[in-house]
């Protein structure tokens, strides 16, 4: 299950105000890149495919992800933090083996 803090929900709702119409979904995806191997990617989406997994957060926001990404999203918590340098989404994932120093990319042990 993916957990989203109230601070993250508030920021996501603020960001949706930049759209002409509110997007239907928040897509969470894991993509290749960064200092290590993988990065989280958050996007708003108007569409959900039959292959997407979806659940509705307590706030009413519908979160979708692809099957491959979902393997690494169990117990993920998304938060939003602000400091003097600005704000950023933070990802706390107990399934992750290594984080880079910038905190944006990560790697997992391969199960071979």
- Domain of 31, CATH number, reads 2.60.300.12
Is 36 within a domain? yes
Is 80 within a domain? yes
CA distances from 87 to 31, 69, 75 (A): 22, 25, 23
Q: Max alpha carbon distance in the chain (Å)?
A: 46
75-100 residue pLDDT tens: 899 999 998 888 999 988 888 878 77
18-64 residue pLDDT tens: 777 778 899 999 999 877 888 999 999 988 999 999 999 888 889 99
Is 94 within a domain? yes
Structure tokens belonging to residue 96: 């992750």
- CA–CA–CA angle 57, 23, 55 (5° rounding): 25
Is 63 within a domain? yes
Is 84 within a domain? yes
Is 112 within a domain? no
pTM reported for the whole predicted model:
0.85
Is 65 within a domain? yes
DSSP states along 67-100: HHHHTT-TT-EEEEEEETTEEEEEEE-TT-SEE-
Beta strand 105-107 with 38-45: parallel, antiparallel or unpaired? antiparallel
Cα dihedral value 69, 71, 92, 42, nearest 10: 10
- The residue segments making up the domain with residue 82 are 3-107
Is 69 within a domain? yes
Q: How many domains does the chain have?
A: 1
């Amino acid at each position: 299950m993916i957990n989203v803090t109230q601070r993250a929900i508030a920021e996501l709702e603020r960001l949706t105000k930049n759209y002409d119409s509110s997007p239907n979904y928040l897509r969470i995806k894991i993509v290749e890149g960064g200092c290590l191997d993988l990065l989280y990617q958050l996007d708003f989406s108007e569409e959900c495919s039959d292959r997407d997994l979806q659940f509705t957060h307590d706030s009413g926001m519908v979160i979708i992800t692809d099957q491959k990404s979902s393997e690494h999203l169990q117990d993920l918590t998304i938060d939003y933090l602000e400091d003097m340098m600005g704000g950023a989404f933070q990802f706390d994932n107990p399934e992750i083996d290594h984080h880079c120093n910038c905190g944006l990319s990560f790697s997992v042990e391969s199960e071979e």
